[in-house]
Amino acid sequence: MNQKVIGLSGDEAVAYAVKQCNVDVVAAYPITPQTIIVERIADYVNDGEVDLEYIPVESEHSAMSACIGAAAAGARAFTATAANGLALMHEVVYIASSLRLPIVMAIVNRALSGPICIHCDHSDTMAERDSSWIQLYVEDAQEAYDTVIQAFRIAEDPSVLLPVMVNLDGFIVSHTLQDVSVLPDEVVSEFVGKRQVASIDVAGKTVPMMLHPDNPLTFGPLDLFDYYFEHKRQQEEAIKAARDVIKRVNEEYYKISGRRYGDGMVDSYRMDDADIAVVGLGSTMGTVKEVVDEERSRGLKVGAIRIRSFRPFPVDQLLEELSRVKVVGVLDRSGAYGAPGAPVYNEIRSLLYDLDKRPAVLGYIYGIGGRDMPPELVKSVIRDLENALEKPPETKVEFIGVRE
Amino acid sequence: MKKGWREVPIGGICWVSSTEYKTGTWKTYAPRIDYEKCTNCGFCWFYCPDGAIRWNGEEKPKVDYDYCKGCGICAHECPAKAITMELEVK
Ligand code: SF4
Ligand code: SF4
């Protein structure tokens, strides 16, 4: 495979992928720790390395609005944001998915204000959890590069037609330099192709689902109690269909790159005979895998499951893997204040309810506001889970790494 | 019977022309023109925000009840007080 290895940070890896993906429009508004993405793309545009419409907008709300307009006109559109930028976009985030526009957006996960904090946690994307966007969480810069390329294919698949968020951990992935293998431009270009606009049946005619004077269409009209519900029902079907597409694109990408991430939905590590599973999202799972190796070498049957696709949720894969273990530890990098647990924990507890033999599920909220999650802390979680093998606690959701 | 979710085009896109959407069903009060009083000045035609007054400049205006939403602006503006708003009985 003719791949170049270059030193790129996570942000730069995203920008590099965008450069190769035949993107037509990039709407750009800076926010730490995402700024480097739109800066690098600006460099590429300035240096003539890529031919796309670069729209410097005055806010994130406008960035997403510009992407919506562009995508509705048939363009392949990309933007990037983080934390409060995503929060400011919130209104239009829902509009993008409900208009079924296959926009790709990189989110560099950062704690939501306040108090103001620029460091990593997942509170920003968890606030968009139910927006009917696909959410893929990556572990490192290499996966950020690979996933942006895959994201266009997933979003634009005719059975899906939903926007995709590619989520990378702020600073930990976004600003850390890594050897990244990049594919030749023409290989990526062929893999993603040009944006193909879906067809739609309107007034007895099949027309391209885009704004065009030849076939005027109304995007975003008033939709009241008579049809709104039907449109929302369609969105659930589309995001469910994305499960197979994410898996298929993961395999097809493997053929051109030699890289794949589990089955695309979850990335399981040493789970075959595991009694204990540690489940979580993002870069921390790299640390968890290291600790799993150490624990395995002293005989503890522990494995790790990195959820790569949080939306759609990997229902089948997790049911299969977790029905075989005795204890599950769920790591959450965001809170759900006032809820029984945090977002990932809540989903997993709910998922396992129907099993005849349910494993114990323990929740750990860690890393809020960029608080470090060193191997020692992961080890203490695994110690806790090991104790639960003997005597599972009734319910347990604990904040770890916070000072008492 | 309205279309189910499998038949409705995705993305909330309208599948018929907007002219087929009879917004006239929204109104509570309907304007009635008293042609004895009407001077054929055309104000109602100018002021109607929905283009629901049909007027060719020669014959006296007619209300297009399929699209009139019953806002009452025409009645308010008519200099001859020729338009009254009547409660719709359905
Ligand atoms: S009531 Fe309003 S909508 Fe109806 S004709 Fe008069 S101005 Fe137009
Ligand atoms: S505004 Fe009154 S007088 Fe003038 S055309 Fe309309 S109904 Fe007739």
CATH number at residue A141: 3.40.50.970
Vertex A24 angle, CA A22 and A30, to 5°: 105
If asked whether residues A253 and A157 sit together in one domain, one would say yes
Asked whether B43 lines ligand 2 (CB < 6 A), one says yes
Whether residue B17 has pLDDT greater than 90: no
- Scanning B1-40 for CB atoms below 8 A from A yields 2-5, 8-18
Distance of CA A98 to the CA centre of its chain: 18
Residue A228 lies in a domain: no
- Quick: pLDDT tens for A157-214: 999 999 999 999 999 999 999 999 999 999 999 999 999 999 998 878 899 999 999 9
If asked whether residues A270 and A152 sit together in one domain, one would say no
If asked whether residues A192 and A292 sit together in one domain, one would say no
Any idea what the CATH number is for the domain that residue A382 is in?
3.40.50.920
Asked whether B44 lines ligand 2 (CB < 6 A), one says yes
If asked whether residues A182 and A279 sit together in one domain, one would say no
Pocket test for ligand 2, best of B32, B35, B36, B38 (most atoms within 8 A of CB): B38
Residue B17, classed as helix, strand or coil, is: coil
Residue A227 lies in a domain: no
The structural domains of chain B, with segments of one domain joined by +, span 5-87
- Chain A's closest residue to B1, CA to CA, is A226
Q: Any idea which fold B5-87 has?
A: Alpha-Beta Plaits (3.30.70)
Nearest-CA residue for ligand 2 atom 8 is: B38
Whether residue A342 has pLDDT greater than 80: yes
Give the pLDDT score at A1: 66
- Scanning A123-152 for CB atoms below 8 A from B yields none
**Closest of A106, A137, A141 to residue A13, by C-alpha:** A141
Which residue, of A188, A223, A257, is where some domain finishes? A257
Q: Find which of A101, A201, A234 to mutate to test the B interface (most B CBs within 10 Å of its CB).
A: A234
| DSSP character at residue B23 | G
Q: Give, to the nearest 10 degrees, the angle between helix A10-20 and helix A185-192.
A: 70
Residues A147-172, buried b or exposed e (16+ Cβ, 10 A)? bbbbbbbbbbbeebbbbbbbbbbbbb
| DSSP character at residue A358 | P
Residue A212 lies in a domain: no
- Quick: pLDDT tens for B47-79: 999 999 999 999 999 999 999 999 999 999 999
Q: Mean pLDDT throughout A88-114?
A: 98
If asked whether residues A114 and A242 sit together in one domain, one would say yes
Residue A80 lies in a domain: yes
If asked whether residues A272 and A253 sit together in one domain, one would say no
- Quick: pLDDT tens for A354-392: 999 999 999 999 999 999 999 999 999 999 999 999 998
Chain B partners of A218 at a C-beta cutoff of 8 Å?
A: 13-14, 18
pTM score, whole prediction: 0.90
Q: For chain A, how big is the Rg over CA atoms in Å?
A: 21
If asked whether residues A116 and A173 sit together in one domain, one would say yes
Distance of CA A83 to the CA centre of its chain: 14
N-to-C CA span, chain A: 52
Structural domain for A186, as ranges? 4-198+238-257
Record the tokens describing residue A258, joined without a space.
């030699």
For chain A, what is the mean pLDDT?
A: 97
ipTM: 0.86
Give the pLDDT score at A175: 98
The answer to whether A236 contacts chain B (CB < 8 Å) is: no
If asked whether residues A155 and A286 sit together in one domain, one would say no
Given pLDDT bands bounded at 50, 70 and 90, which one contains residue A317? Answer: very high
- Quick: pLDDT tens for A43-63: 999 999 999 999 999 999 999
Chain B partners of A217 at a C-beta cutoff of 8 Å?
A: 13-14
Ligand 1 interacting residues, C-beta cut-off 6 A: B 31, 48, 50, 52-53, 63, 68-74
Tallying the residues shown for chain B, one arrives at 90
Do the Cβ atoms of A161 and B2 come within 8 Å?
Answer: no
The answer to whether A379 contacts chain B (CB < 8 Å) is: no
Do the Cβ atoms of A200 and B14 come within 8 Å?
Answer: no
Closest ligand 1 atom to Cα of B31:
1
Give the pLDDT score at A378: 98
Residue A219 lies in a domain: no
Q: Mean pLDDT throughout A265-291?
A: 98
